[in-house]
């Protein structure tokens, strides 16, 4: 008969190897300590979404008026870029902290994809700002510039949505009773 303290025995209730369970408890504790950071990310994400909605609303209005406002659009995008960059930097710090709290594959993959997306999105908004700021902006029309900004906003929102889903997954992972510290 096996020794009941034998760590190779599976917990009858949870079906989890006790050694693995210990790592899971540690991970869950670390992840719990990140809750304020996750909340901060969520608040900031909401602020940023609100300010982007204001810009898209403004774009809709100027589009209807049909008067080119390249300079103003560049200024609004510069402001959006500043807030976006701040958010990306914070997300990358959060990603590093999550990575330290849990080395599960999902965290690694999400983090790597986020960093790539941030670089790509930053390059894209920088390029838009640079073109909109030229003396003769290289667009067929102001409407074409508006459309390109709209595509950028779509890409940004898709990225944030993917990140939100990743964090939601992590929250569920963290609240799985088999992984909670007892
Ligand atoms: Fe992000």
Q: What is the CATH number of the domain that holds 151?
A: 1.20.120
- Which structural domain, as residue segments, surrounds residue 169? 18-175
- Distance (Å) of CA 5 to CA 21, 26, 51, 174, 182: 14, 20, 57, 27, 18
Distance (angstroms) between ligand 1 centre and the Cα of 113 equals: 9
Residue 114 lies in a domain: yes
Distance (angstroms) between ligand 1 centre and the Cα of 3 equals: 49
The series of mean pLDDT values per 10 residues for the chain, 182 residues long, is 46 57 61 72 85 90 89 95 91 82 75 92 98 96 95 94 80 53 38
Residue 11 lies in a domain: no
| pLDDT value for 182 | 37
- Distance (Å) of CA 94 to CA 18, 83, 135: 29, 16, 40
| pLDDT value for 4 | 44
pTM exceeding the 0.95 threshold for the entire prediction:
no
| pLDDT value for 181 | 38
- Is residue 95 a contact partner of residue 41, using CB atoms and an 8 Å limit? no
Distance (angstroms) between ligand 1 centre and the Cα of 33 equals: 21
Distance (angstroms) between ligand 1 centre and the Cα of 163 equals: 6
Closest by CA position to 144, among listed 81, 83, 73 = 73
Total of domains in the chain: 1
Residue 57 lies in a domain: yes
| pLDDT value for 105 | 75
- Is residue 154 a contact partner of residue 148, using CB atoms and an 8 Å limit? no
Residue 101 lies in a domain: yes
Distance (angstroms) between ligand 1 centre and the Cα of 156 equals: 8
- Is residue 115 a contact partner of residue 95, using CB atoms and an 8 Å limit? yes
Residue 78 lies in a domain: yes
Residue 111 lies in a domain: yes
Residue 83 lies in a domain: yes
Distance (angstroms) between ligand 1 centre and the Cα of 117 equals: 7
Distance (angstroms) between ligand 1 centre and the Cα of 14 equals: 35
Non-local (6+) Cβ contacts of 10 within 8 A are 16, 17, 18
- Is residue 114 a contact partner of residue 91, using CB atoms and an 8 Å limit? yes
Distance of alpha carbon 96 from alpha carbon 174, whole angstroms: 17
| pLDDT value for 39 | 80
Residue 136 lies in a domain: yes
């Amino acid at each position: 008969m096996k020794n009941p303290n034998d760590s190779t025995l599976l917990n009858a209730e949870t079906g989890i190897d006790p050694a693995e369970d210990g790592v899971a408890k540690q991970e869950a504790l670390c992840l719990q300590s990140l809750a304020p950071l996750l909340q901060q990310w969520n608040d900031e994400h909401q602020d940023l979404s609100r300010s982007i909605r204001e810009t898209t609303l403004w774009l809709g209005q100027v589009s209807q008026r049909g008067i080119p406002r390249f300079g103003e659009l560049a200024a609004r995008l510069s402001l959006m870029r500043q807030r976006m960059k701040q958010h990306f930097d914070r997300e990358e710090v959060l990603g590093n902290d999550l990575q330290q709290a849990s080395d599960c594959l999902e965290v690694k993959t999400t983090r790597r994809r986020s960093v790539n997306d941030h670089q790509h999105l930053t390059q894209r908004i920088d390029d838009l700002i640079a073109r909109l700021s030229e003396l003769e902006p290289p667009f067929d029309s102001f409407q074409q510039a508006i459309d390109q900004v709209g595509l950028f906003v779509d890409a940004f929102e898709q990225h944030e949505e993917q990140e939100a889903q990743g964090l939601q997954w992590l929250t569920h992972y963290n609240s799985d009773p088999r992984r909670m510290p007892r």
